[in-house]
Structure 1
Amino acid sequence: MTLAEKTTKKKKEGFVGQKMIVLPPNIKRNIASNHLISRFHVVASGFYPHAIYHDRERKSGCSEYILLYCTSGSGTVNVSGSTSVLKSNHFVILPKNTPHHYKSSLLDPWSIYWLHFTGKSADHLYQRYSELGAEPVFLAYSARRIEDFDQIFNLLANSFEERNLEIVNIKYLELLANFLYAQEIDPLTLGRDKITNSIQFMKKNPFSLYSVKDLAAQQHLSVTHYSKLFRDKTGTSPKQYFIQLKVQTACQYLYFTDKSIKEICRELGFNDPFYFSRLFKKLMGLSPANYRNQHKMD
């Protein structure tokens, strides 16, 4: 099957092992009149595991905010023409009433938890998110976070009775706060440790070439210790993470500039355009040329 044939298999939902709940209109009306949870409440939630061909576009946006939390794999998220890569241990919140298009990687399909939430407090919560940069935000892996998602989902699946909806939405608010205030809750989650310092160093130097040995030495760690700490925090190797950053930077150049692929490749420190193209296609599911053409057509 060719890549072109594969890209036609777009799916909004219907994945093996998926979980999804969408509240019916009468339940939404009941929540809107509940003073305890009307200011913040979730109207839909779910989990899509290994969601190959997942592709969702809303040209007029959605009336609720949407949280996407990637636990494995990767994909892309486009909001009002700006594209970013969403990968493992990152989350993004899509603004309400704003055109967007998100899709899973064909070669490394994502697994995502997602929420649609609304209410007057939702606007303030999105403002807190925008202060983090309004782009995919990294969070260190936490088994407890996954357990919380599953527990709250199961509570919601049990009943739409008023008291149950109250505790569900109180817990969802607490869960979202753990995303938005992670640094305040646990400073080491986002900063003040050697691996976060290393990640920041990579982000500031996407046009340089550094070996794992160089990166470990920069943090005064042995290669073995550095690599273990890095994988524990991010779920991937330093080399793979740095390549992902370079590909993400390449996406921006392909989208926003007219630089040739060879020029972009050279600026990112790759002497072999064919090698870079293979890396790009492995992560994005498209060659650099096809990626540019696809977005230029949009």
Structure 2
Amino acid sequence: MNIAQKKIKDGFVGQKMIVLPPNIRRNILNNDLISRFHVVSSGFFPHAAYHDRERKTGCSEYILLYCTAGTGTISIADRTIQLTPNHFVILPKDTPHHYKSSLIDPWTIYWLHFTGVYADYLHQKYAELKQEPVFLAYDTKRIEDFERIFSMIENSFEERNLEIVNIKYLNFVSSLLYAREMDPLTPGEDKISRSVLFMKKNPGALYSVQELAAQQNLSVTHYSRLFRAKTGSSPNQYFMEIKVQSACQYLYFTDKSIKEICRELGFGDPFYFSRAFKKLMGVSPVHYRNQHKMD
């Protein structure tokens, strides 16, 4: 058997795929909640050797291909691009295209076919990114979200379930397109992002602005200016907000005393902690706990 004969559209070991039947698609079009954005098919192709799909007249839906391993190529219009791990593309509807997995290093892809008025808008936002394919830092939660949504649609085509599924898929696609805006402080993006990540991972630490600036090899003046430009706050104010947010979690989810929480967050003086907490939250830590304590 030659290579050409081995080209396949689907049927990979471990694959998952769902295509909505025509009657279900008609029902969706009559549902005002999800008619403007809905997924008509979705799937997961792991290590998809010989995956090869060509549509000479294109597809009536937009196609999202998100690669997590391996490589492949996509030919569309007059260009060919390579899809590699942690990248995604959205192919325009009604446009001829041809995509295929590498024979040497077959890709693993998550994919969606989606349509609707909002789909048109989202593809426009994709075009505005002016990069193809689009890079995404790997996030296990993103994969878990996709698999959770897929499991929901596997279970039922009931209307209420389809509403939830498509709302979640809209959020999933949006999270790819607005990744930078939704998490502007992505680890490793820049020095201020790294500094903020350090603060979030170490809410109990006690560091001066001088020490935080030194961590990023910046002068205090330059560090403070960049920090305010990115976050809208001074480093001290931002770090305090992180500590108070952590305190809220302790007050809500644990029975730790105020003194214990102070120690966890690096406050030597419970009275100072209470004043700082009330300034940001509008109530004292004790009041906050009484007001929001879990039953």
Common fold: TM-score over 0.5: yes
Select the structure of larger CA radius of gyration.
Answer: 2
- Shift in CA distance, 64/191, structure 1 to aligned 2, threshold 3 Å: farther
TM-score (norm 2): 0.63
Distance 2:101 2:110 in 1: 13
Q: CA deviation at 1:135?
A: 1.4
Amino acid aligned to 2:28: I
Secondary structure of 1:187's aligned partner: coil
* Alpha-carbon distance, 1:186 to partner: 1.2
Counterparts in 2 of 1:102 and 1:39: CA distance versus 1, 3 Å: same
Alignment partner of 1:14 out of 7, 11, 16: 11
Q: Which amino acid in structure 1 is aligned with residue 7 of structure 2?
A: K
For residues 93-112 of structure 1, the aligned pairs below 5 Å read: 93-112=90-109
AA paired with 1:123? D
**1:40 Cα deviation (Å)?**
0.2
User: How many angstroms apart in 1 are the aligned matches of 2:38 and 2:188?
Assistant: 30
1:187 is the counterpart of 2:162? no
**Kept in 2: contact 1:138–1:190 (CA 8 A):** no
**SS of equivalent to 2:6:** coil
Q: Does 2:24 match 1:30?
A: no
- Cα deviation for residue 6 of structure 1 reads 2.7
Q: How does 1:83-102 map to 2 (within 5 A)?
A: 83-102=80-99
C-alpha contact (below 8 Å) 1:58/1:100 kept by paired residues: yes
Matched, 1:177 2:168: no
Point out where structure 1 has 5 or more consecutive residues left out of the alignment: 197-218, 221-298
Q: CA RMSD in A?
A: 1.9
Number of residues paired by the alignment?
194
2:161 to 147, 161, 164: 164
Q: Work out the CA distance in 2 between the residues paired with 1:92 and 1:182.
A: 14
5 Å-filtered alignment, 1:114-125, equals 114-125=111-122
Matched to 1:42, the amino acid is V
- Structure 2: unaligned runs, 5 residues or longer: 194-215, 218-295
Q: For the residues of structure 2 that align with 1:138 and 1:56, how far apart are their CA atoms?
A: 23
- Residue 7 of structure 1: CA displacement? 4.3
2:160 counterpart SS class: helix
Shift of 1:99: 0.4
Question: For 1:22 and 1:110, how far apart are their aligned partners in 2?
Answer: 21
Hey, what's the Cα distance between the residues in 1 that align with 2:149 and 2:122? 19
Equivalent residue, structure 2, for 1:130: 127
Over 3 Å counting, the alpha-carbon distance change for 1:191 and 1:137 in structure 2 is farther
Cα deviations by residue, 1:51-110 (Å, 9 ceiling, x for unpaired): 000000000000000000001001001111310000000000000000000000011000
User: CA–CA distance in 2 between the matches of 1:129 and 1:112?
Assistant: 19
Q: 1:42-121 maps to which residues of 2 (within 5 A)?
A: 42-121=39-118
4+ residue runs of structure 1 moved beyond 3 angstroms?
188-192
The verdict on how the C-alpha distance between 1:123 and 1:190 changes in structure 2, with shifts beyond 3 A counting, is farther
Greater Cα shift, 125-134 or 108-117 = 125-134
